[in-house]
Structure 1
Amino acid sequence: MSRSLNNSPESIYQTLLKFCHVKSVTDSEGEKEAPRFLYEELKILPYYQENPNDLFIQPIQEDRLGRSNLCAWVKAKNKTKKTIILMGHFDVVDTDVCGYLSEEAFDPETYTNLIEKEMISEEARRDLESGDWIFGRGTADMKSGLIIQAAVLAELSKNPAALDANLLYLAVADEENNACGIHEAVRYLAELKKDGYEFICCIDSEPSITQENKDHGWIHLGTVGMYTPFTFILGKETHVGEYFEGIPASLIAFKLGGILEGNGQFADKYKDVTYPPLTCLKIYDLKRTYSVTVIERIAMYYNCLFVTKTPGEILDMMKAAAKKALDEALADYSENWLEQHTHTEKKEFIPQIIEYAELSKMAERATGLSSQEITKEFLKSLPPELELQDRGMKLVNHFIDVTGLKGPTVIVGFLPPFCPSGFNERKTMEELKVIESVERLVNLAKEQYDMTISIGEIYEGISDLSEFAFKGTNKDIDTLSNNFAGWGTDFTYPFDQSKFLDIPIVNIGPIGKDAHKKTERLYLPYALEVLPHLLKDMIYSLAK
């Protein structure tokens, strides 16, 4: 094996194994090691020996964990502002699902040998026994994609005179959580565009995760977006012995959760494809200790994938669901009161549904301070390592305290992360060129490698490609920013820069299965022997 990374199956494989040993779990200390690993692998290439300023680690501004991205340029010998971006993320999800093999999951060869003794699906066992797949955290999602891109970059760096466009390799942090890494990259790219750089396309190499035709390659022309809406349910406290004096938040929450979970109305449709519905990601009981008082406060936040649905539409749907839940909960309360012939007087409750934006205004009126002042001061009191979603929910809880708001009430709003959708509208020359290059690649794969590759409109996994062409309106921006818990202090989104960039996107990555699961795995023949050549061909095709 050669000393430095090169575009050969052996070099890609060995570098991938080393990279997987870096435990770059999102929000961990190991995440900080990943850009340094890539930097050390690339800096010994002759190009970077001669052009050291074209390779650098990029700190993420105001990141509470002090993380960084990795940036590597290969500039065409004939000076040009035309640039193709190669991009991916180096953070991975944790290995808790791997049980007692959670440490071994970062050592793909060892893990592949050990998992043979585990209870795994028939499909996973067939793949294991074929010898064509390697198992382990990050093998598919998405360290293989980053290393393949780096290997192609290494090859093309040998002859910059043959390039008709610059290459910019971006390896970013925090894709699996709040997208802080790609937001920093977007700000950097926006400055470059102001300086006259012309971005032809951004190529990501996330693994294929499509349920159908799992065993062949995919190229996607767009990516799904994601909202993280929340509901905060405020009941009316009472002693359990005086049940009908109040109304438990749990009664409303159970109704609301049942209405929202898997609700097909939230499942977006685009070009005859229906995307997954809303699902709850976390539930909070805000009751601090045991007592025989009914639960007064419960909060929930959700994953909501979308292609074309606006934040205003999502808020309206959340409010409609909240109204239905409140109506059903109060109807149950009345029915139960009648059936039990209780001596307690029946209470008349006035339900409320409030957007987070209105709650913020109520807090301003109650305190005489701006919502930003209240937010900044309160969030400063929380541990910085607390997840952004938890901080946001605690902030909503604090706003309720300072306003004195009473239930039954449901507050709706948004939490981070937010990821826009991206799709090829076939309107611009740049978009049409991407289509042409992709179709050419499909034919090339069949002719030269007897490999079937399908073209998909939307990559159904959440990816950093979302960030390169925000297509929303000013109204959408206002709806999101005004209803985001912690906006401006814990989280912002580079709307202006993303919209300004407007870069065509494409995902061409390895064949992988079971991302985030104990049986995450990578199909080696395609990743090592086919994909690097297809990626190189796509770069040359787009640069012409």
Structure 2
Amino acid sequence: MRPCREEVLAITKELVHVNSVVNTNGEKQVAQYIFHWIKKLKYFQLHETAVMMQKTMNDQYERYNVLAYVRGTKSASDKTIILMGHLDTVEIDDFAHLKKWACSPDELMEKMKQEAVPPLVREHLHSNGWLFGRGSLDMKSGLASHLYLLKYYSEHPEKLSGNIVLIAECDEEDSSHGILSALKALKAWKKEHQFNYIAAINADFVSPRFPGDENRYIYKGTVGKLLPSFFITGAETHVGSCFEGLDPNYIAAYLTKQINYNPALCNEAYGEITTPPVSLKQTDLKPFYTVQTALAAYVYYNFFVHSWSPKEVLVKLKNEAIIAFQQALADYKERYKAFCRRSGDTFHEISWKPRVLTYKEMERILTKLHGQSYIDHMEKFKQNKLTDEQLDVRMFAAAVVEEAWKWMEDKSPAIILFYSSLYSPRVEVTGEKSEREKNVLQALDHAVAEVQPHYPYSIVTRNFFPYISDMSFVSLSDDEKEIQAACDNNPSWGTKHYIDYQHIRDLNIPVINIGPYGYDAHKKYERVELEYSFNIVPNLTFQVIKQLLASGQK
């Protein structure tokens, strides 16, 4: 065990002090800080081209990744291990009156000690074993661990039989422009320096899986994440004649009831199960107040996968949407009948039927109906929408579907199912697909066996990192056809949104997560445990590196 707690703690505090909220100038500032921190190391003064700031590509914000490498001199080897971690954080508004100190851990903790806080938070505040502050857990402590190891190997290249590459990437908390841009640099370095990427080690945070859980987790691979979205049309009417129309918000409510928290939509693989979908936005698309019911509604849901492909998810959600639509119409009919009984109005049979189409199915219908005129119109529409920088990719996709709907001849109520954001692919690391995977898992088992005796809580490995992370963009478990469904059913694909998944497939690096432990990531009581995060984590990663590069052969 290498004693490193105080050094990693110091680096963490330095990083936390730089407010680097995603999609702000802070991302650029923290990248500059990390770049200059690395440049000061003697190794990088002698090897100036071994560290770089890389501007992200196809990005409306100016922000940067920092990449660096150390070549080992112990024995000749092309084996290369990537240490990766993101430098951005979520925003700090949740700190409210403590916002001023959100990025100043020592001052923040003193302020919090003077306030009424939950019992466990108070216990941690007074224990001297925890560090609070935005980014302390997610994930500047993990990045600090990697920087410590980069520094160590830069000072002792003679102990390294192979190479270490560090990626400190931006924009993990939003659209992953950072890691997607870094792929280009990784491919270039692979060719230029003959790097053979045998493993990637991420250092994102881990937390208890349930109240009272004292395990510290290491993850092999990661959960996949989709954003299935629904454009819902009804039949507009004056609110004074509400049963002459069908409110799309009403259908949206049934859709959310059918999908939200639905355990049938949890994906199990290797004995582990995803959390169920939950809505992240639900709104109608009326631009201002009128007494007419809305023409359309829009809702999207977070959706995690372990083994299901984007294509399979579309099939499952189309079925759920049909069920929701059927139930909505059945209840509408019963309520209409009940109203007529009370009011004395005459009941008229409703003619609407459940109608659910995927975006690709609608595109096929419209292309067949209107041909090139539709294609040209939609291309022009998308290009014009690109000039609106305030329109995020999710609302851009909704606008495209709304415009396409205007071309439909049959405008009876319908639900259009599509994806409105990037697909973060699931990654399985089972040891069965390649020798590289097998070696990574063996090295991980060895590392845990070496370090566990030095720590009182159990260090447990699991198959899927349970949160969204940039691990999704260094390896692929889906085949090309499975990925294509996410592209074909994304209205912003090729304009507002595009990912070259082939870049990921070209590298396809087995990836694991050894990260800091703590509580309340993305919340004002975000905190990281010092001993595990600043001592155990760097030593676990050190042991994995040592084991993987032990032989030194090419």
Bigger shift: residues 203-212 or 228-237: 203-212
Task: Flag the 1:27–1:362 CA change in 2: closer, same or farther, 3 A.
Answer: farther
Match of 1:205 in 2: 203
Match of 1:97 among 74, 94, 97: 94
Match of 1:504 among 507, 510, 516: 510
Distance 2:251 2:116 in 1: 39
Match of 1:19 in 2: 15
Match of 1:150 among 143, 147, 167: 147
Quick check: 2:134–2:526 contact (8 Å CA) kept in 1? yes
**Which residues in structure 2 correspond to 1:332-343 (within 5 Å)?**
332-341=331-340, 342-343=345-346
Match of 2:262 in 1: 263
Quick check: 2:208–2:214 contact (8 Å CA) kept in 1? no
Deviation of 1:187 after TM superposition, in Å, equals 3.2
Deviation of 1:217 after TM superposition, in Å, equals 2.8
Quick check: 1:513–1:521 contact (8 Å CA) kept in 2? yes
Amino acid paired to 2:253: F
**Which residues in structure 2 correspond to 1:65-464 (within 5 Å)?**
65-77=61-73, 79-193=76-190, 196-212=194-210, 214-341=213-340, 342-343=345-346, 345-362=348-365, 364=367, 365-366=369-370, 367-370=373-376, 373-374=379-380, 376-382=382-388, 384-403=389-408, 406-427=411-432, 428-449=434-455, 452-464=458-470
Quick check: 1:7–1:155 contact (8 Å CA) kept in 2? no
Deviation of 1:313 after TM superposition, in Å, equals 1.5
| Pairs aligned (count) | 538
Deviation of 1:10 after TM superposition, in Å, equals 3.4
Calculate the TM-score normalised by the size of structure 2: 0.92
Amino acid paired to 1:331: A
* CA deviations over 1:65-119 (Å, ceiling 9, x no partner): 1222110111123554221000001111112222221231111111112122444
* CA deviations over 1:418-442 (Å, ceiling 9, x no partner): 1111121212221121122111111
Quick check: 1:65–1:385 contact (8 Å CA) kept in 2? no
Distance 1:138 1:169 in 2: 19
Bigger shift: residues 211-220 or 244-253: 211-220
Deviation of 1:248 after TM superposition, in Å, equals 0.5
Distance 1:398 1:81 in 2: 52
Task: Flag the 1:425–1:529 CA change in 2: closer, same or farther, 3 A.
Answer: closer
Amino acid paired to 1:185: A
Deviation of 1:352 after TM superposition, in Å, equals 2.0
Bigger shift: residues 371-380 or 334-343: 371-380
1:10 paired with 2:6, answer yes
Quick check: 1:442–1:452 contact (8 Å CA) kept in 2? no
**Local SS of the residue matching 1:24:** coil
Bigger shift: residues 386-395 or 275-284: 386-395
Distance 2:195 2:379 in 1: 38
Question: Percent identity at matched positions?
Answer: 29
Quick check: 1:136–1:521 contact (8 Å CA) kept in 2? yes
Distance 1:272 1:426 in 2: 16
Distance 2:136 2:412 in 1: 48
Bigger shift: residues 286-295 or 369-378: 369-378
Amino acid paired to 2:256: G
Task: Flag the 1:448–1:33 CA change in 2: closer, same or farther, 3 A.
Answer: same
Distance 2:416 2:491 in 1: 11
Where do 5+ consecutive residues of structure 2 fail to align? Answer: none
Deviation of 1:193 after TM superposition, in Å, equals 4.3
**Local SS of the residue matching 2:138:** coil
Quick check: 2:208–2:215 contact (8 Å CA) kept in 1? no
